[in-house]
Amino acid sequence: MEVIFGYPGGAVLPIYDALFHQNAIRHVLVRQEGGAVHAAEGYARSTGKVGVVLVTSGPGATNAVTGLVDALMDSIPIVCLTGQVPTHLIGNDAFQEADTTGITRPATKHNYLVKRSEDLARVVHEAFYVARSGRPGPVVIDLPKDIVINPAPWTPPPETQHRSYRPQTDPDPEQIRQAIALLKGAKRPMIYTGGGVINAGEAASDALVRFVRATGFPCTSTLMGLGAYPANDPQFLGMLGMHGTYEANLAMHGCDVMLNVGARFDDRVTGRLNAFSPNSRKIHVDIDPSSINKNVPVEVPIVGDAGRVLEALLAAWQQDGTRVDTQALAEWWREIDEWRAKDCLRFTQETARGSIIKPQYAIQRLYEMTRALGRETFITTEVGQHQMWAAQHFRFDRPNHWMTSGGLGTMGYGLPAAMGVQMAHPDALVIDIAGEASILMNIQEMGTLAQYRLPVKVFILNNQYMGMVRQWQELLHGGRYSESYSAALPDFVKLADSFHAVGLRATGVDELDGVIAEMLASDRAVIADIAVDPKENCFPMIPSGAAHNQMILGPEHEDRAAGITDEGLVLV
Amino acid sequence: MRGQTTPPQFLPLQTVSPMPIDPTQRRATISVLVENEAGILARVVGLFSGRGYNIDSLTVAPVDQRGRSRINVVTSGTEMVIEQIKAQLDRLVPVHRVADLTMEGPHIAREMALIKVVGTGEHRVEALRIANAFRARVIDATAESFVFEMTGGTEKLDAFLDLMRPLGLAEVSRTGVAAIARGKRVIDDLHGAHDA
Ligand SMILES: Cc1ncc(C[n+]2csc(CCOP(=O)(O)OP(=O)(O)O)c2C)c(N)n1
Ligand SMILES: [Mg+2]
């Protein structure tokens, strides 16, 4: 542990006193505890290490809850130390007491209340192990003040296995054999990968690339898995799901054998379950057995670490003498290329001076200009249309460089996450692609950027609306834009200035490149307020309750088809 | 010298199996061996309520010297839901072992009930007669009441209570189901044997 993101208070003062007396651990003082957890998430996801958080009892702990659930949903390893009132006061409604273990039980992978100082060292070792092993997740250690005020004995990490928790990492060879038999016989195969590949470490992404290339099969990725397979590679069909590409979703719908590695058949991906990939035989690789057969029944379940499974699959693929049906595969690729030719992410940017900026174009230019720069670049996002456009138009070719709140969809994630990434990678370029509404949810963290001189770039696609909400209201609620207009916005340029950062603004297309260039050239924190088309919608879109082949395309496409059922209306 | 007894056979560890879609519901008696630590029951109960699973019965008590407890849950759902329940239980950090007794072979399930019947005259005589037929024990009696103690399967207890209802059934206290596999098979933590 090198960095800890925290915020002090009465119950954790003894820990802060200990931090004062040492130099090994760097403490980053956030401006709100929620920011601390997202920062730790960004730190964890960009390094593969466990992110560490320290907050006080009561409100400190409750402020951390959103971040904990976020980390739980996206399988991010976090250890969160929470202060607690002294043991003899627990249960008395003492000042700043909250039932933290009770509140965080469903918000964590596991949690602990340490009641004896002799347990402290064991619990801390165990918490780190639980957080990072198996399917990673957040772990809370609740620390009563009397436990942390007295010295506690240090004991080395236990050498024996955990008594009850032993995740399975190596796959069953028989299931690998069955998977290969299915894959070799496939005529219309599809590989679908998710955040599990990222979590399994860089070696897993590397194994994925080798496996996909060896098979010649098409592959797609969930939002969380972007970067595991290089986006510019011809075998990559783009992201799938609600705002995924036409070709990825139709290939999922039409495939005859599906290999899912480290994804969980989330409803954003499957669309209407009973119409999801109706004719495929499915193989599901996951480290968490409870993810398998949860939403979608599969033929071959494989429990194990994504990296190890991919290595085993690759070895078995090469050993197996069966030849793939190259003719069928070529036919399948022809079909896919036809779908691809639709160019579903196409948009039209007016180029005349002063023309309104299309949000997609802003991302595209950001991507091209950062790429031209050649610096190591990390992207975080907030939640909304801008997040989906970032996923569609910023093309990732390395794992761990894309951090977004997928499972929980937490507005306010991006800025603190970027802060955590920048702490871990001081020389890298870290950009939060934001919406004007989301950014206000954790805007206080601009103060943290200033204090630690973290040169994070906040790139706001300012459409003056909670765009994603507005889009749903337009498509599903008769254009009644109830409470989705971002009224009374701050002047983001002045706001940046007041937080000791650089504020920039682009209002017409001719100003965009200049603003991006200036932002990238700055060695300080920057807020770039990019005024974009407020009416733009994010397409393609699979409406809630619809199937993959009932996708709505953008206005650029003549055959856009639409259909939101009453059934779909109740879904989120 | 070697004894006659063969070592116990362990029930196979629960593994993920391919799953057909079957919309029909079934009942499952699931035994869970857990670390006996603070909050474990809340974790299990929270899992059921949080994910909308049914609990028909739940019992918990320490069962060995190694600080472990056994939780018996009777639940119902489709095959897919029951598999999910088992996988979710197995995912809890303090859980050693999850066994679906209903699936893993013949098993015995029993619960105990204390049943208070209040009445006089004909009803009282009839209650006692039926209690005898059901092998319920009288463990408390006054001129106007009995407390019966009865052990048996859930259906037997339900049947007895149905008969007592018109005879002055006043109060019931039930333990919930304790269950165990028949024969020499035992539920134990086998992970150690599987890991090198
Ligand atoms: C904490 C939280 N509250 C509410 C939502 C619901 N929500 C999803 S997207 C969105 C609008 C986001 O607006 P903005 O940040 O401007 O992004 P845009 O969609 O305009 O790009 C809202 C309110 C959420 N995801 N998170
Ligand atoms: Mg907006």
For B141-181, write each residue's pLDDT tens digit. Answer: 999 999 999 999 999 999 999 999 999 999 999 999 999 99
pLDDT exceeds cutoff 70 at B12? no
Burial level of A478, CB count in 10 A (0-12/13-18/19+)? exposed
| Pick from B18, B39, B46: CB nearest A299 | B18
Residue B114, SS3? strand
What is the mean pLDDT of the segment spanning A193-219? 98
For the Cβ of A300 lying below 6 angstroms from any atom of ligand 1, the answer is no
Return the half-sphere exposure (C-beta side, CA atoms, 13 A cut-off) of residue A553.
21
Please indicate whether residue A145 is annotated as part of the active site.
Answer: yes
CB contact under 8 A, B93 and A301: no
pLDDT at A570: 74
CB contact under 8 A, B93 and A297: no
| Pick from B16, B96, B192: CB nearest A301 | B16
Q: What is the mean pLDDT of chain A?
A: 96
Distance from the Cα of B99 to chain A's closest Cα (Å) equals: 14
For the Cβ of A67 lying below 6 angstroms from any atom of ligand 1, the answer is no
- In this prediction, residue B13 has a pLDDT band, given cuts at 50, 70 and 90, of low
pLDDT at A266: 95
d(CA A306, CA A196): 6
pLDDT at A366: 98
What is the mean pLDDT of the segment spanning A345-349? 97
d(CA A461, CA A440): 13
pLDDT exceeds cutoff 50 at A37? yes
Contact B195, A163 (CB under 8 A): no
pLDDT at B30: 97
Residues B38-81 have pLDDT tens digits of: 899 999 999 999 999 999 999 999 999 889 999 999 999 999 99
pLDDT at B193: 30
Of all protein residues, the one whose alpha carbon is nearest to atom 13 of ligand 1 is A466
Q: Which two tokens stand for residue B125?
A: 């005589």
pLDDT at B188: 79
Burial level of A420, CB count in 10 A (0-12/13-18/19+)? buried
Q: Which two tokens stand for residue B31?
A: 């035994």
Long-range Cβ pairs for the range A268-273 (8 Å, 24+): A268/A223, A268/A241, A268/A242, A269/A192, A269/A222, A269/A240, A269/A241, A269/A242, A269/A244, A270/A295, A270/A296, A271/A241, A271/A242, A271/A542, A271/A545, A271/A546, A271/A547, A271/A548, A271/A550, A272/A545, A272/A546, A272/A547, A272/A568
| Pick from B16, B39, B93: CB nearest A165 | B93
How far apart, in Å, are the Cα atoms of B133 and each of A559, B124, B129, B160? 76, 14, 6, 10
**CATH code for B25-105?**
3.30.70.260
pLDDT exceeds cutoff 70 at A231? yes
Contact A81, A124 (CB under 8 A): no
Distance from the Cα of B80 to chain A's closest Cα (Å) equals: 7
What is the mean pLDDT of the segment spanning A311-336? 97
Boundaries of every domain in chain B: 25-105, 108-178
A402: CA distance to ligand 1 center in Å?
19
A529: CA distance to ligand 2 center in Å?
11
Return the half-sphere exposure (C-beta side, CA atoms, 13 A cut-off) of residue A384.
31
What is the mean pLDDT of the segment spanning A39-51? 98
d(CA A156, CA A147): 19
Q: Does B108-178 carry CATH code 3.30.70.1150?
A: yes
pLDDT at A568: 63
ipTM: 0.92
Residues A400-455 have pLDDT tens digits of: 999 999 999 999 999 999 999 999 999 999 999 999 999 999 999 999 999 999 99
d(CA A423, CA A428): 10
Share of residues in chain A with pLDDT > 90 (%): 94
- In this prediction, residue A1 has a pLDDT band, given cuts at 50, 70 and 90, of low
Q: Which two tokens stand for residue A125?
A: 């070792």
A34: CA distance to ligand 2 center in Å?
21
pLDDT at B1: 42
B112: CA distance to ligand 2 center in Å?
61
pLDDT at A320: 95
Residues B95-136 have pLDDT tens digits of: 999 999 999 989 999 999 999 999 999 999 999 999 999 999
- In this prediction, residue A558 has a pLDDT band, given cuts at 50, 70 and 90, of confident
Residue in A69, A360, A411, A459 to alter for ligand 1 test, most ligand atoms within 8 A of Cβ: A411
Residues A457-471 have pLDDT tens digits of: 999 999 999 999 999
Backbone angles phi, psi at A320, to 5 degrees: -65, 125
- In this prediction, residue A563 has a pLDDT band, given cuts at 50, 70 and 90, of low
Residues A250-290 have pLDDT tens digits of: 999 999 999 999 999 999 999 999 999 999 999 999 999 99
| Range A262-293 burial, b when 16+ CB lie within 10 A, else e | bbbbbbbbbbbeeebbeebbbbbbbbbbbbbb
- In this prediction, residue B10 has a pLDDT band, given cuts at 50, 70 and 90, of low
The three-state (H, E, C) secondary structure of B166-186, written as one string: HHCEEEEEECCCEEEECCCCE
pLDDT at B196: 29
Query: What is the number of CB-based contacts under 8 A between chain A and chain B?
Result: 70
pLDDT exceeds cutoff 80 at B189? no
In A70-180 the beta strands, taken as DSSP E runs, fall at: 78-84, 110-113, 138-144
Q: Which atom of ligand 1 is nearest to the CA of A411?
A: 26
pLDDT exceeds cutoff 90 at B6? no
